[in-house]
Amino acid sequence: MLRKLIFSIALILCSLSIMAQTVNINEYGGWLETAYVEWEPITEASSYNVYYTGEGISNVQIDTQLIRCYNDGSYRTDILGLKAGSYTISVVPVINGSEGIASITPSISVQAHDRAGFAFSGGRIAGSYNLDGTTQSGAIILYVTEETKDTIELNVIGANSNPCIGLQEILDGFKKGNDSRL
């Protein structure tokens, strides 16, 4: 009985030790309505969750498609659609299905993009972004790669069939003019 108790305590302590590991942030920065962070992986992590905080929003999780692993094993994510201001980014390892301890960047300064010019004259908004750089409410964001261009799916109002499968079929569905989403 005592052996089982000692084993259980040792197992819990080992688990806590693994969960206590944090990622090492190598680089971070901001630019025109974007911010990024690069980090070194930890062995026990199966994936990472990334959150950003700033300008009146708190702990917004980014889409996992924005997290990339490079050939050298390092990771990077770029966060798009931020309005100008100060942000922090939290990188959280996922270990055995649970989030570990977050590594948080210092404050990152994000600048506004200059929207002077013909495309934005008269307060006109081009595309799915607001004038402050954030995405418009209800905007559809698709992550398309060479590998997914023929398999990505989206239900499009008024399309010949749903879901539309492949980027071309999605675009054809929108050409019908029955779906007013951005």
Name the pLDDT band for 20 (thresholds 50, 70, 90). low
Pick the CATH number of 22-136 from 3.30.70.20, 3.40.50.740, 2.60.40.10, 3.30.230.70: 2.60.40.10
165: Cβ contacts below 8 Å, ≥ 6 apart: 150, 151, 152, 153
pLDDT of residue 69: 94
Task: Identify the CA nearest to 48 among candidates 24, 13, 72.
Answer: 24
Is the pLDDT reported for residue 10 higher than 70?
A: no
Per residue in 111-159, pLDDT (tens digit) is 998 877 776 777 777 677 888 888 888 888 888 989 999 999 999 988 8
Asked whether the beta carbons of 149 and 166 are under 8 A apart, the reply is yes
Could you tell me which residue, 118 or 58, shows the higher pLDDT? 58
The pLDDT-based confidence of 181 (bands split at 50, 70, 90) is confident
DSSP one-letter code for 153: E
**Could you state, in order of their start, the residue ranges of all structural domains in the chain?**
22-136, 140-182
Looking at residue 174, its pLDDT comes to 85
Expressed in percent and rounded to 5, the helix, strand and coil fractions of the chain are 20, 35, 45
User: Residue 2: phi, psi to the nearest 5?
Assistant: -65, -35
Q: Is the pLDDT assigned to residue 18 strictly greater than 50?
A: no
Position 175 confidence tier, pLDDT thresholds 50, 70, 90: confident
Closest CA to 33 of 78, 85, 105, 81: 81
User: What are the tokens at 52?
Assistant: 């950003």
pTM of the model: 0.79
At residue 15, does pLDDT exceed 50? no
- pLDDT tens, 62-118? 999 999 999 999 999 999 999 999 999 999 999 999 999 999 999 999 999 887 777
User: Are residues 74 and 24 in contact, defined by beta-carbon separation less than 8 angstroms?
Assistant: no
Length of the chain in terms of residues written: 182
- Whether 54 contacts 85, CB under 8 Å: yes
